[in-house]
Amino acid sequence: MAKPKIIFSDFDGTLTERGLISPALFDVFELSHRLDSEMIVVTGRPLSWSHFLMSHTPLKASISEGGGVISIREGKRFKDVYLAPKEDIEKLKSITRILFNEISDFYLSDDSTGRITDRAIELDYIELGDNEERITEILDANEVNYSKSNVHLNFWVGDISKKNSVEYYLENYSTYNKDECIYFGDSLNDQSVFSWMENSVGVSNISRVLKVLKHKPATILQGNNNKEIHGVKNYLKSLLK
Ligand SMILES: [Mg+2]
């Protein structure tokens, strides 16, 4: 493709390296600068992570909570746009209370402080076991949506998705259309964008979930040298030529 106007990218498993921020992240920012592309993170992490990333990197905007909140740099301040109505945010609070009451040993992910439009359960160290069935039963019974990322089981009320937030951003805060943009991801919660944006790329560690993906990215990178952020870096480098 031509040089993308906006590079949208998932964070965990796509812009990280074995779970950590690595020096390669700054190489990716440098490459986006050389491509003259805007870079926007689209993550399942909470709003506070968008603020953190925007405080310490050149990001002009960041989308968090799986598409629930768009944060935009306005001068020296950040403006947060919630893509969930108040009643959905209230319903989410009450469903979370139900889960705490009904499920023994239920607790939310370590990064939950400040979550507004969704909630997350850590997958790394909690054996959900039988609890997973009970949790999803309660979520289904209350028409609450949920999705697994590479790190969390996230749940939310209403029509929140990474795709909807990217579309909203393009319509309201940009002059570009989706065909001029690119999206990088690695997991199930990236599918809504994979199914909608023509230029979508899966980094090679997406192979872990490829069998269960209903919507695959247009390009799937291969090999260990295209894992996680190195896949993003290599792909962006190829666009410079
Ligand atoms: Mg991910």
Identify the DSSP state of 19.
T
Q: Which stretches does DSSP call E strand in the chain?
A: 6-9, 38-42, 61-64, 69-74, 77-82, 118-122, 145-148, 152-156, 181-185, 200-202, 219-220
Q: Return d(Cα 43, Cα 30) in angstroms, integer.
A: 20
Q: Give the pLDDT confidence score for residue 230 in this predicted structure.
A: 98
Token pair in block for residue 33: 């600068």
Start-to-end CA distance of the chain, whole Å, equals 11
Q: If you measure from the C-alpha of residue 116 to the centroid of ligand 1, how many angstroms do you get, rounded to a whole number?
A: 20
Q: If you measure from the C-alpha of residue 16 to the centroid of ligand 1, how many angstroms do you get, rounded to a whole number?
A: 9
Q: If you measure from the C-alpha of residue 78 to the centroid of ligand 1, how many angstroms do you get, rounded to a whole number?
A: 24
Residue spans per domain, the chain:
6-83+160-240, 86-156
pLDDT digits (tens, 9 = 90+) for 135-163: 999 999 999 999 887 778 899 999 999 99
- Model confidence at 124, in pLDDT bands (50, 70, 90)? low
Q: If you measure from the C-alpha of residue 9 to the centroid of ligand 1, how many angstroms do you get, rounded to a whole number?
A: 9
| Residue 233 three-state SS | helix
Signed CA dihedral, 191, 199, 167, 22: sign only: positive
Q: If you measure from the C-alpha of residue 113 to the centroid of ligand 1, how many angstroms do you get, rounded to a whole number?
A: 20
- Model confidence at 174, in pLDDT bands (50, 70, 90)? very high
- Is 6-83+160-240 a domain of CATH 3.10.450.230? no
| Residue 158 three-state SS | coil
Q: If you measure from the C-alpha of residue 185 to the centroid of ligand 1, how many angstroms do you get, rounded to a whole number?
A: 6
pLDDT digits (tens, 9 = 90+) for 5-18: 999 999 999 999 99
Q: If you measure from the C-alpha of residue 11 to the centroid of ligand 1, how many angstroms do you get, rounded to a whole number?
A: 6
Q: If you measure from the C-alpha of residue 223 to the centroid of ligand 1, how many angstroms do you get, rounded to a whole number?
A: 18
Segment 53-79 mean pLDDT: 95
**Rg value, the chain, Cα:** 17
